[in-house]
Amino acid sequence: MTKGRSVSGGTAAGDKRTVTIAAIARLAGVSVPTVSRVLNGRADVSPNTRKRVEDLLSQHGYRRRPPSMRANSGLVDLVFNDIDSPWAVEIIRGVEDVAHASGVGTVVSAIHRRTSSAKQWLDNIRTRSTEGVIFVTSTLEPPLQSELRRLNIPVVIVDPAGVPPQEAPTIGATNWVGSLHATEYLIGLGHRRIGFIGGPPQLMCSRARLDGYRAALESAGIAIDDGLIRPGNFYHEAGFAGGTELLALPDPPTAIFASSDQMALGVYEAVRQRQLRVPDDISVVGFDDLPEVRWCSPPLTTVRQPLAEMGLLAARTVLRLARGEQIESPRVELATELIVRDSAVAPPK
């Protein structure tokens, strides 16, 4: 059916220099992401579609980047929006454990949500080989996604912002369940006015944590008071600002659930500056279980998010894709766990 047809810009079918996966997708009657999934050995493609795409790739001489070429690059790229956070260090640790065991290095970059930085990073990628790219809390913009697909570079996203591309595997945690359990724990202690400080609204994990908080209140028959919900960004300053506002209310909460450990520590400082004490005057719960929170005073009750494990699994996944191997699932959520320490008790009478 396709024999002898031009596949790109008037190029003859046998010309191997300019054929693109967009042209193969058009001839196969499938989407470009489907062709990308076939190239990366993904399991979520039907056998008939896979054969049709593979036949066209072979017929038109599409030049794959062979696994041996990727292996020779010896590098995995790990891209953050920002890396000035302890949770970023935990993810790096997980990625580097796998990379070291696999004999590859890790290139860590921060693009600071700036288009110019993303463009500079992409220009760098074009000049060298990479096994694959792991994006953390990022939105994979269409131009960037298209260029990485053209270069046939595997991509994995950790904690995506917004809806991730269909062909990009994602690694996350059970944010909704973790938030639900943290709020239920405070309710079980007797708290009814529970403040909440959220994360960046564009992140899916932030929305899931807010939804889990709301679901726990609704399940317990407690009316949701939007006046007890404050915006945040996962950093100390937002926790301090939100905590200060909540404590200044005429009827302040008896507990505050901060949706990151750094914001919880910001709440600690807001409590201290009002000459109050955690947990005697107000209970505080965080989210992440960063190494430092077991050493603060009092040690923080928090939801453990398996950050290092998320980095580890992301690295394993991108290396498997680079080798042309299939992966078990394109969407993975690792379990969270409530870690009970000393920062939350029954509300004061």
- Per residue in 163-192, pLDDT tens? 777 778 999 999 999 999 999 999 999 999
Q: What is the pLDDT of residues 85-118, one digit of tens each?
A: 888 889 999 999 999 899 998 989 888 666 677 7
Distance of CA 181 to the CA centre of its chain: 21
User: pLDDT tier at 63 (50, 70, 90 boundaries)?
Assistant: low
> Rounded distance, CA 240 to CA 158, Å?
27
DSSP state of 130: -
The HSE-up count of residue 137 (CA atoms within 13 Å, CB side) is: 23
Residue type for 193, please? Answer: R
Residues 6+ apart with CB under 8 A from 148: 125, 133, 155
The mean of the pLDDT values for the chain is 86
Q: From CA 250, how far away is CA 247, in angstroms rounded?
A: 8
- The domains found in the chain, sorted by start residue, are 21-60 (no CATH), 75-173+308-334 (3.40.50.2300), 175-305 (3.40.50.2300)
Beta bridge partners of 334: 173
| Cβ contacts of 131 within 8 Å, gap of 6 or more | 70, 71, 73, 74, 75, 76, 104, 154, 318, 319, 322
Kindly state the average pLDDT of the residues 58-69: 62
Three-state SS for 333?
Answer: strand
What average pLDDT does the segment 68-89 reach?
Answer: 75
Question: When comparing pLDDT for 321 and 32, which is higher?
Answer: 321
Terminal Cα distance for the chain, rounded: 80
The whole-angstrom separation of Cα 247 and Cα 206 is 22
pTM of the model: 0.77
Q: Which of these, 192, 342, 327, 171, lies nearest to 264 by C-alpha position?
A: 342
Order the strands of the 301-304 sheet from edge to edge: 229-230, 194-197, 255-258, 283-288, 301-304, 337-339
